[in-house]
C-alpha cells in the first residue's frame, strides 16, 4: 500500500496580518466586549436590579455551593429502617471489598430473629477512603450510600476524619428519593 501524504494548505499571512495589528485590535475588542457586558450585569446584580445573568461563570464557593450531579460520590451515610435503626446487617461485604480498608465493622446479634446481625460499631476513616463507591455497589441491603453531597471534609487531626455509626446515621441524603420502606 502506497503511503499517501496529505498536504495541509496553510493560509499565507498577508502583509496586513504580519503587522500584528488586526489580531491586536481583534483581541482587544473581544476582551473589551467581555469587560463591558460582564461589568454591566455584575453591576446590576450588585444592586439587586437583575437576577438572570450572573456576568461570571464562577461560584463564590463557601457561600454558594457548586451544583453537583445526582451521581456524585460524596461523604457516606447509613440508611435507616422505619424505626430509626440502621438498615445495615453487618454482613462485612463493604469492609471486604473496600480497597482502601477504611471500613471497620463490629457485628452483634440482633434481637429480632428475622434479622441476623446488626453493627455494634461502624467506623469509616475518611482520611483513608478513596471514594470509589464499591461499598455502595456491593451492599445487599442498600444500607450505605454516598449521596450526602458533603464535600468539604477537613480536620486538624486524623481522629477528626473518622466517622462513627452515629455520624453516619444522622447524615441526610441529598438529591435521592427516600429509601423504600422494607
Partner 1 sequence: MSADLAGFLIKLAIAGGFFGMVLNLAGLLTWVERKQSAVMQDRLGANRAHVVFPKWLFPLNWLVWLPNQLGLFHSLADAVKMFLKEDFVPDGADKFLHTLAPMISVVFALLAFSAIPFGDVWHVGGRDVALQVADVNAGLLFVFAMMSLGVYGVILAGFSSNNNYAYLGGMRAASQMLSYEITMGISIMGIVLSYGSLSLQEIVKHQGGTFFGWLPAWGIFVQPLAFFLFMTAALAETKRVPFDLPEGESEIIGYFVEYSGMKFGMFFLTDLVETVLVACLMTTFFFGGWQVPYLSAAGFHFPWGAEIAVTHGAYILLGVLSFMIKVAFFNWLFMQIRWTLPRFRYDQLMHLGWKILFPASLVNVLVTSLVVAWRAS
Cβ nearer to partner 1, comparing 20 with 108: 20
Torsion-angle region of residue 82: left (phi > 0), alpha (psi -120 to 50) or beta? Answer: alpha
> Nearest distance from residue 18's CB to partner 1, in Å?
11
Q: Identify the CA nearest to 126 among candidates 114, 137, 135, 139.
A: 135
Cβ nearer to partner 1, comparing 27 with 108: 27
Interface residue list for partner 1 (CB under 8 A): 24, 27-28, 30-32, 34-35, 38-39, 42, 46, 55-58, 60
> Nearest distance from residue 97's CB to partner 1, in Å?
42
Cβ nearer to partner 1, comparing 60 with 114: 60
> Nearest distance from residue 58's CB to partner 1, in Å?
5
Cβ nearer to partner 1, comparing 56 with 176: 56
- Grid coordinates representing 1? 500500500
8 Å CB contact between 129 and 100? yes
Amino acid at each position: 500500500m502506497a503511503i499517501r501524504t496529505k498536504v495541509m494548505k496553510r493560509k499565507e499571512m498577508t502583509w496586513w496580518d504580519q503587522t500584528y495589528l488586526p489580531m491586536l485590535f481583534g483581541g482587544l475588542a473581544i476582551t473589551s466586549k467581555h469587560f463591558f457586558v460582564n461589568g454591566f450585569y455584575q453591576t446590576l446584580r450588585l444592586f439587586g436590579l437583575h437576577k438572570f445573568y450572573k456576568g461570571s461563570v464562577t461560584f463564590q464557593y463557601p457561600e454558594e455551593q457548586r451544583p453537583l450531579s445526582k451521581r456524585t460520590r460524596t461523604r457516606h451515610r447509613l440508611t435507616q429502617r422505619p424505626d430509626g435503626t440502621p438498615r445495615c446487617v453487618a454482613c462485612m461485604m463493604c469492609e471486604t471489598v473496600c480497597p482502601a480498608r477504611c471500613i471497620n465493622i463490629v457485628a452483634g446479634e440482633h434481637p429480632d430473629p428475622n434479622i441476623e446481625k446488626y453493627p455494634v460499631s461502624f467506623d469509616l476513616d475518611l482520611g483513608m477512603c478513596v471514594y470509589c463507591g464499591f461499598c455502595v455497589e456491593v451492599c445487599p441491603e442498600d444500607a450505605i450510600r454516598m449521596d450526602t453531597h458533603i464535600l468539604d471534609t477537613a480536620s486538624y487531626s486524623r481522629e477528626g476524619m473518622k466517622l462513627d455509626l452515629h455520624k453516619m446515621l444522622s447524615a441526610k441524603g441529598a438529591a435521592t428519593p427516600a429509601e423504600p420502606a422494607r
